Structure 1
Amino acid sequence: MENTPTLLTNRLILRQFVREDLPALFSILSDPEVNTFLPWFTHQSMEETLSFLQTNFLETYSLPLGYRYAICLKEDHIPIGYINISPNESHDLGYGIHRNFWHQGIATEAGKCLLDHIQKVKTIPFITATHDRKNPNSGKVMQNLGMHYCYSYQEQWQPKNIPVIFRMYQMNLDGNVHKIYSQYWDQYPIHFIETDL
């Protein structure tokens, strides 16, 4: 079974990245504002983005599980962002959107489409997602997707090597409403539950 089938929404096409998407991906990853709350440093060259494209997208499509998509508008098929679910045990949802398309519901629309697909094929029992506490807009996307806040923790974030307080959200897809992914809670000594969200 293809692990990244093309998906459609009213405005968007979610598809596999191809090498020809390099300029569009560089435009996203080279923007300092877009990358403020992302784990990697702002890209400085096409070569850097090509390596990222190959490692994080092109070479993953042969793996048995994991969803890594280019988010494109239907009218031109050019990537304006990306969305993925990691194949590891956290099933972490991640996304990034070109700054020109912020505040238009793109991440939520793409996320709902991907979650609908996953619930149909029943390959993943739950998903998690984390966001920097200083970036509440990302948390709003998680809430709009129906995810629920579980806890917060402080991590010395790499490769930027800065302390970040993350909020962890989760959605259970297998009917087990009480399951909470606890690895971050167990791994990081500074952890707590915020009650004023």
Structure 2
Amino acid sequence: MNTPTLETQRLLLRKFTAADLDALYEIFRDEEVNTFLPWLPLKSLDDARSFYEARYARAYRLPCAYRYAICLKAENIPIGYIHVASDDSHDLGYGLRREFWHRGIATEAGRAVIEQVRRDGIPYLTATHDVRNPRSGRVMQRLGMRYQYSYEEQWQPKNRLVLFRMYQLDLDGTEGRVFRRYWERSAVHFVESSP
């Protein structure tokens, strides 16, 4: 089991392939789409190729990699991505091309991935969003995630100070567990009364 293909009513979630470089470039080159992503926008197809190799092809060689292209079933062309980190954060991340925003696509994809990782025995997921991007937080809430705390981080490679909100979803029935790595490594952290 590496990256099983998932289907929803509207979507096909599958691996990115080398044939997807044009679509990958379209997703990651848009400055507005990439405002709240950690990496810099791609500038060329060569950048897209390097990005694909580093973030996707390498991950797909691991025994388990939850790194999906989000495709509309009708076209099977990537319009976004969704992933779960392979480290102990099990961090859920997602992004879509701008013309597909506000259609519930990230939520629909997130539900499918959550069910897959639950079946695979992942005990919890985390997700973070920049406080200036509350729409991403609303996706987390629609997925059943709960706010835990806020923290500051000097974000690289963009080298800017960001205030993040951290959400968590327990998948194994454990209550009260809080993933604390971000809290512990940040000198500025706190719980907001109404995030």
TM-score (norm 2): 0.98
Root mean square deviation, CA, Å: 0.8
Match of 1:162 in 2: 160
Determine whether 1:125 maps to 2:123. Answer: yes
Alignment of 1:84 with 2:61, yes or no, is no
Q: In the TM superposition, what whole-angstrom CA distance separates every residue of 1:42-70 from its partner, at most 9, and x where no partner exists?
A: 11111111111111111211212330000
- The whole-number CA distance in structure 1 between the counterparts of 2:75 and 2:188 is 46
Task: Flag as ranges the 4+ runs of structure 1 deviating above 3 A.
Answer: none
Question: What residue in structure 2 maps to residue 63 of structure 1?
Answer: 62
Q: CA deviation at 1:148?
A: 0.4
SS at match of 1:56: helix
Gaps spanning 5+ residues in structure 2: where?
none
- SS at the partner of 2:150? strand
Match of 1:189 among 181, 187, 195: 187
1:31 maps to which residue?
Answer: 30
Structure 1: state its 5+ residue gaps: none
CA distances 1:121-153 after superposition (whole Å, capped 9, x unpaired): 22x111100000000000000000000000000
Query: Corresponding residue for 1:41?
Result: 40
Return the letter of the residue paired with 1:137.
R
Q: Select 2:171's aligned residue among 154, 164, 173.
A: 173
1:183 partner letter:
R
Cα shift at 1:3: 2.1
Whole-angstrom distance in 2 between the partners of 1:98 and 1:47: 19
* Identity in percent: 54
1:53 equivalent in structure 2: 52
In the alignment of these two chains, the number of paired residues is 195
Q: Could you tell me which residue of structure 1 aligns to residue 71 of structure 2?
A: 72
CA–CA distance in structure 2, aligned partners of residues 77 and 60 of structure 1 = 21
CA distance in structure 2 between the partners assigned to 1:5 and 1:63 by the alignment: 13
Distance 2:14 2:112 in 1: 12
Letter in 2 for 1:11: R
**Residue deviations 1:69-97 (CA, integer Å, cap 9, x gap):** 00000001000000000101101101110
Secondary structure of the 1:65 match is coil
